[in-house]
Amino acid sequence: MSALAGLKLVAAKRSAQAAPAVQRRTKLLKKIAEQIALAKARAEGRQYTATRTRNVKDPETGVTKAVEMPKRVREWWWTAENGKTVLALRYGAKAVELAKGKSAVEVSNNNELIAALDMLKRAVEAGELDAQIETVSGALRAGFKK
């Protein structure tokens, strides 16, 4: 008992699931982090490869094991007709509307691209885009219903 006397003991219960807005925010933050890593790799002239873990069954032994496999990460940016780079924040396959009628950010170089992605990351962390993310999420879910 003397070992436990130095600890502050509390009656705690873990919540079963995070709020839907927090889940959507977390999902988007992971994707933004991938985009930042991709942009930094392109700036340094190297290839970026994201990986994911898949369970694969060995055909000879029949044992299932976890294997890291590369996953494709598509760029959220492209070059416009005026030569500037345009970045669209995406949730799933849909672009998130950042302001009324505007869903992209225009930048002139790769450093500004990384800075814009960092600013978008901070905005998502602060919950500034929760309403827009919920709208896009609802549109995506509606596409799966028959």
Per residue of the chain (146 residues), what is the pLDDT tens digit? 577 788 888 888 877 777 888 889 999 999 999 999 999 999 999 999 999 999 999 888 889 999 999 999 999 999 999 989 999 999 988 899 988 999 999 999 889 999 999 999 999 999 898 889 898 888 888 888 76
pLDDT computed for residue 1 by the predictor? 54
**Rg for the chain (alpha carbons), in Å?**
21
pLDDT at site 3? 74
Whole-number pLDDT of residue 5: 81
Q: Looking at residue 143, what is its pLDDT? A: 81
Q: Under a CB-based contact definition with an 8 Å cutoff, are residues 50 and 33 in contact? A: no
Asked if 95 contacts 139 with a C-beta cutoff of 8 angstroms, the reply is no
Please list, residue by residue across 114-128, b when 16 or more beta carbons sit within 10 angstroms of its beta carbon and e when fewer do: bebbeebbeebeeee
> In the prediction, which pLDDT does 113 show?
93
CA distance 10 to 23: 27
Tell me what pLDDT residue 146 has. Answer: 64
- How many C-beta atoms lie closer than 10 Å to residue 113's C-beta? 24
CA–chain centroid gap for 94, Å, is 13
